[in-house]
Structure 1
């Protein structure tokens, strides 16, 4: 939309990007109100250019809005672009443009009608949505297909803002009707919108039947590439009635396999693979399968990134149907200039496609790879040779010969990898290739990697009776037993016991020494346990020891990176998406947040009773009763059936006196997940500053005296109001020039606080002797968090610029983390807590041992103290010597999940604190606040 209005620097409009004059805002305001149409248009272009390069031009909102009443489409597009960008920070003023939107939605020009509907859908302000319904309904029924296709996408945007409204207004059914539209572009957009809504809501809203299916197939040949992808993805979710219908659909889809766009090709491949399961004729299935090979091979001639994506998908396809590409193995041979990530994937595909007919040429290729200079690639190539040997029994000897040739090169990392894969070959084919052991033992001194050492030790122990000096070989490693890694120590222990059971007369002292080292000198619990097991077996029943230690090993197979059939079928259905690249289901790496309607928001905690239940040690449920002096009543009838707090499959814990007020519980509500990376997290939905409504008096402190501020005295304080964070300021003009506009900027700080808007604009100029108050909305962003190690709760360094005089004031604003940043949100429901806890990856958890934490042993007293600081009990459980309690609290509007492990029963351990959060950058800060609350 903006591409036609603002050209990149270097075009005829480049001059708009280079304006740096002082007083430019005042001049722009004058030009925006100029009666000259060209001058007004140039002024809007300057505003958009400033906005594009990151300058804040929100102070011109009203002036730009006044330009919206124009017949010039270019100017209207520019104003609409400005509106989309600033509407969220100026929601009240945005309502001024509603009448123009409604008027434009009825304009004779279809371009203007579509533009109005598109812009209203892009303005994510809930107050606008009620005005959008009627124009959107008309647009969905518009005579012009351009308007209809624009309106279809707008429904998906509206659903993301207010799902209930879309369903109540019947927009979903209108979208389904649009699938039968005569215009293929409208069909594609309707399918795209329904797919987006389905992904958001987690349910199937498409409802494809036979008539809809035919419309989709007809539109497939005429719509854009983008539309084809959406239609093909929708077809992949359809289940054909029988094999005949599946064959017909495949016939209609196969022309897309020759498409120039790789996304269309992969979506078509997905449809064909999905429907092949329904094709009953073997010959027909084989014929369709052969059609898949050429497009997949063609994708390997693309740029490296596309090759990598194609190879990841091909690896799934050949697992499902290896016959498709078995004759095309040569196209997967690596080129000298392939990136390493492409080479690795090609190797994986080669191993999957290797068979008795092509093993010789594959081995020649792998041998060449093993002599490359890239160490990682060489290791992978050597390991691939071993995997070929395990996969193809008739080719195992040829693979071993190649490995022996590579060993003779004496290249250290090649030798180490060869030893590792030969150990696996010995496990696959026992008592068949022992003649090569002598060649391996010649290189013992050069082995320095734990896995290679462990492999050769396993070979020596397994074939000790066939190695003349097996005891000497093991003795060589025993000299450095204590310095070896746990993996090597475990193998040394087992190999020595094997040797003793085969040659007891010569190795008694050796096994005694090893057992002593393992059980008395080692700190590794696995090694100690295995040592004790072997010691008891040898001392009580040597025959039983032989039966255990020298038992026949289970056969192995090359199942590396082989997926379970159910997982494979699921990933086949996700071809051409990130799932098929990660080899994970979408829910494993995508945090889905379904829209929360107003009714759901109110009923979110309906399952929490007016009194919170706790489980006592006998499994009976108890309720907290605010009218009872002890806080407890008798056994409750509101048990969930288990009589225990079911949290993460935990046992129950009695926290007999921990209160959980019902009023606080009812206040808990779901909060959308905050992104873990940089960028401002818009927690509050913006909002224009206004005169501070003194619902409760805010204790402000003088942060900038008049002497320091050039006659301006500034009082300020951070305050939570309605769950949102604000900076409340009083500005007293003691002896300065009249002031009307101030610009605010904060330095990096403990909590990552930034202004949601940078301008403070008073209704009237602040004359000498006058005062004014302002409430500035704030946001949190991880990018503004202070560096690790900075003191928690340090004052926020602030700069305030007087826009009239250009003077900049510097001062600090205090912030109390426990009282200012932790709102009284009430506890989360147990189910909500459990779902949130599971949704956060273990790697994002932060924890610490709280040394020196004052703890009397009374967990319920600690819980009451935490609740006074708005940190709420959720559930708990008992463990040996420990009580583990779960709490929830909010850092402004970010949910924090806490686990506190208290030592009980005289344990000297320090309490352990743990935090999980959907906003990972804030987890360490939440951990510090939790510790501070416990220490107070």
Structure 2
């Protein structure tokens, strides 16, 4: 009878009966009893009360019984740590048993028992087993070191086990070498400093073991080889030559790991003939992956996606293997489609387009849409193929299939942006299909085409008017595009669109609840009302050509993922530390090696490579009128949660004001004085430690002036921070004919609770044509409004005795940062761990000034963003950990990684108030790029 009988124990008094059987003198009865105990334990019964009785069965020479008892002890040792210590003598005795299987079993079991009392007694038996004569014992002991390190790292380091493991890399048995590599790799991944380093001495030992070990041992060794940077092209060629035979292995993991090594080492090979030969050898095994079951195909395709982005020449002649089969799952088809677009070139574009055209007639709507978009992406990618792509799209439009027509119009819009004034002949065909449009993106694309080529479409005003009739019911994307296109039409053909532009501006500014639409409407209204030619130059300006980069990763991320081929990272297309808990806080984002800073214990924290909100603050895209929508698109996907879309378009970037020549006002274009795009005075003064002893010069910005509706007074000002206090520096110029007195100031309710310390201004009487400077102390203890989005424009009202003046003025976020923001390392670590991972953000900040981390960090310190510790990582990167604190006691923790190769500063941040982080990141980018 099979062992299944042991799982049918449900009778009463079973525990008592088991106790008696465990105490039997007959070994066969003991073995039967232990089997029943293990069966009960397996199905979830609590048999921990038998711990002592089972423990007594350890003293046996029967290997099967000993394995069963060890299995029981591993499971219940945590529940009975005091009793588990009784097994130590048996473990130590078995660790020196003549039978190597028992020696290995003893040390393996001791390593799996995660009880401190046991691990303390494991050291000596483990030391002997690491140097055992039998390779099976040595390889088991090597893995046991990694298990022990997970329980007690200090003990492993103090006992010198890491050095023994490194010595085992030269062992004569390949399996011992493979297990030593596996153990060192696992320890290195969770250690705070580098444990496993490959050099020229152990490199050859690993390569020798690679040929003789099992397939899983080969995977461990191949992954370890990726840690080594060859010192010369000849050395890289030699390693590749010895790894290449692994490409013919039957195990897909071995094949992909071998490709990962080749991809890494090819970067160091200078001989182009050798590189081409290696690329040619990599193609067949990758193609073989696509003949397996769909799940393996998908994993292979995700890895091939990365390989093709890095080196398209590997599979440039294998296009046909990526053609979709009718029975392929949709997830496989989508991946094949992406790779076909990457591999498309002038030589194979015709057969690729034929395939895409065929896909566009399938029944799967989602796949059809992707296929039509793929045709457009090929047109954008390959200039000479654009005409063929247009013809294919026109053929698809003639099918009159609703969703095919709409996708075709969307991609043709992008083709027009790539090739302006080249394919306008197809516009008539597009206009004939207006009635089939019911999706917002397709409508917006068609409206864009009509507006962009309004001078060539005779009935453009009629077409746009047909969309305008249902303006209120349209999606916001369509409304925004319709507003812009009607303004374009008016600028090109004023007589045809005069009534239409008035209607759409009224609908946008007066009857819409969408703030983006209202702001854009106001911008267009003021442009058209102020200067028609200026409006024409701005709205009809030449647009930058677009490129297709939808499937391409950043170089830094791509290189990292290439080094993680054959792992989940290459499937998710995310760095491993973003989804593997034990890796978070180490390597890319951690404080590895901070021990070099004379610290006994270094902090570690999570570095989750999340997505960005990447509205870029720069003089070019920031100098816009009040409410104008930014045209720059986000650089990447946005992290979900309570993050906000920060609109920086309201910023008034003014040059220092000459009070004798001030013109213009809040929300109005200035007529006499042009603002300097390089003067970003809206961010205010410094105020950090080590700042100036005298108040810094404040560049006041004109906020209220001599416009028709802004009479009697001219106001300029700016917020600043000095000696730990925030103040609003105002200049008032009385341009009326009467005296002004009894000035008061009132702030509208805002997110940060910013209010004047005293609402009554101490400026006395202001006579006609007289001006005065006022410094108004600011409090941050007023009535805040957390339900509002954090904004950087403060709405303020000045009330002299005669009338009221309303204006907006930019509040620089760094004025909120206090001088007591620095933390010690322990507090930093504790705070980082206490903040939820959902509050973590990451963003790449391009450094446009001289790439000098010392000067940048010194400048940040003057703005109250304080460095805690810094670490150099190789020759390419330097990591700095910083903290700052706002007036309302919100801490912001930062990790800045300066990459000397790309001149990129990667910012990873955490705070308890994520709503403010978009604003803080943009301020940080400005401070980094404007250190003075």
Which position in structure 2 is the counterpart of 1:107? 97
Which residue, 482, 496, 504 being the options, matches 2:486?
496
**Paired residue secondary structure (1:507):** helix
2:258 equivalent to 1:281: no
Q: Deviations over 1:263-313 (max 9, x none)?
A: 000010011111111111111211111111111111111111111111111
Which position in structure 2 is the counterpart of 1:731? none
**Paired residue secondary structure (1:102):** helix
CA distance in 2, matches of 1:224, 1:75: 29
CA distance in 1, matches of 2:320, 2:603: 62
* Backbone CA RMSD of aligned residues: 3.2
CA distance in 2, matches of 1:44, 1:302: 44
CA distance in 2, matches of 1:103, 1:58: 24
CA distance in 1, matches of 2:43, 2:252: 34
Which position in structure 1 is the counterpart of 2:154? 164
Which residue, 816, 828, 832 being the options, matches 2:829?
832
Q: TM-score, normalised by structure 1?
A: 0.66
**Paired residue secondary structure (2:886):** strand
Which residue, 360, 374, 381 being the options, matches 1:384?
374
Q: 1:899 to 1:289 in 2, by over 3 A?
A: closer
CA distance in 2, matches of 1:486, 1:434: 27
CA contact (8 A) 1:319 1:352 kept: yes
Please report how far the alpha carbon of residue 606 of structure 1 lies from its aligned counterpart in structure 2 after TM superposition.
11
CA distance in 2, matches of 1:458, 1:89: 70
- 1:396-545, aligned counterparts within 5 Å? 396-545=386-535
Q: 1:20 to 1:828 in 2, by over 3 A?
A: farther
**Where does structure 1 lack aligned partners over 5 or more consecutive residues?**
1-10, 608-616, 622-640, 645-649, 655-826, 845-873, 889-896, 904-936
Q: 1:179 to 1:301 in 2, by over 3 A?
A: same
Which residue, 218, 223, 227 being the options, matches 1:233?
223
Q: 1:240 to 1:130 in 2, by over 3 A?
A: same
Q: 1:229 to 1:479 in 2, by over 3 A?
A: same
**Paired residue secondary structure (2:411):** helix
Please report how far the alpha carbon of residue 570 of structure 1 lies from its aligned counterpart in structure 2 after TM superposition.
1.7
Which position in structure 2 is the counterpart of 1:88? 78
**Where does structure 2 lack aligned partners over 5 or more consecutive residues?**
605-685, 691-721, 726-750, 756-823, 842-882, 894-909, 917-932
CA distance in 2, matches of 1:245, 1:362: 40
Please report how far the alpha carbon of residue 877 of structure 1 lies from its aligned counterpart in structure 2 after TM superposition.
2.1
Which position in structure 1 is the counterpart of 2:113? 123
- 1:619-768, aligned counterparts within 5 Å? none
Which position in structure 2 is the counterpart of 1:553? 543
Q: 1:325 to 1:523 in 2, by over 3 A?
A: same
Please report how far the alpha carbon of residue 899 of structure 1 lies from its aligned counterpart in structure 2 after TM superposition.
3.9
Please report how far the alpha carbon of residue 212 of structure 1 lies from its aligned counterpart in structure 2 after TM superposition.
0.9
CA distance in 2, matches of 1:575, 1:590: 16
Which position in structure 2 is the counterpart of 1:662? none
Please report how far the alpha carbon of residue 449 of structure 1 lies from its aligned counterpart in structure 2 after TM superposition.
1.1
CA distance in 2, matches of 1:132, 1:55: 30
| Aligned positions, number | 647
Which position in structure 1 is the counterpart of 2:609? none
Which position in structure 1 is the counterpart of 2:183? 193
CA contact (8 A) 1:217 1:252 kept: yes
Which residue, 207, 212, 216 being the options, matches 2:202?
212
2:874 equivalent to 1:877: no
Which position in structure 2 is the counterpart of 1:859? none
CA contact (8 A) 1:884 1:901 kept: no
CA contact (8 A) 1:830 1:875 kept: no
CA distance in 1, matches of 2:142, 2:754: 53
Q: Deviations over 1:568-596 (max 9, x none)?
A: 22221111112212222222222336899
Please report how far the alpha carbon of residue 176 of structure 1 lies from its aligned counterpart in structure 2 after TM superposition.
0.7
Asked which structure has the greater RCO (Cα within 8 Å, sep 6+), the reply is 1
Q: Deviations over 1:332-360 (max 9, x none)?
A: 00111111111100000000111111111
**Paired residue secondary structure (1:35):** coil
Q: Deviations over 1:653-679 (max 9, x none)?
A: 99xxxxxxxxxxxxxxxxxxxxxxxxx
CA distance in 1, matches of 2:279, 2:382: 25
CA contact (8 A) 2:603 2:825 kept: no
CA distance in 2, matches of 1:524, 1:837: 38
Which position in structure 2 is the counterpart of 1:309? 299
**Paired residue secondary structure (1:397):** helix
CA contact (8 A) 1:333 1:365 kept: yes
2:150 equivalent to 1:141: no
Q: 1:77 to 1:836 in 2, by over 3 A?
A: same
CA distance in 2, matches of 1:834, 1:279: 46
CA distance in 2, matches of 1:902, 1:387: 36
Please report how far the alpha carbon of residue 96 of structure 1 lies from its aligned counterpart in structure 2 after TM superposition.
1.1
CA distance in 1, matches of 2:350, 2:281: 27
CA contact (8 A) 2:139 2:180 kept: yes
Which position in structure 2 is the counterpart of 1:296? 286
**Paired residue secondary structure (1:204):** coil
Please report how far the alpha carbon of residue 651 of structure 1 lies from its aligned counterpart in structure 2 after TM superposition.
11
CA distance in 1, matches of 2:915, 2:264: 53
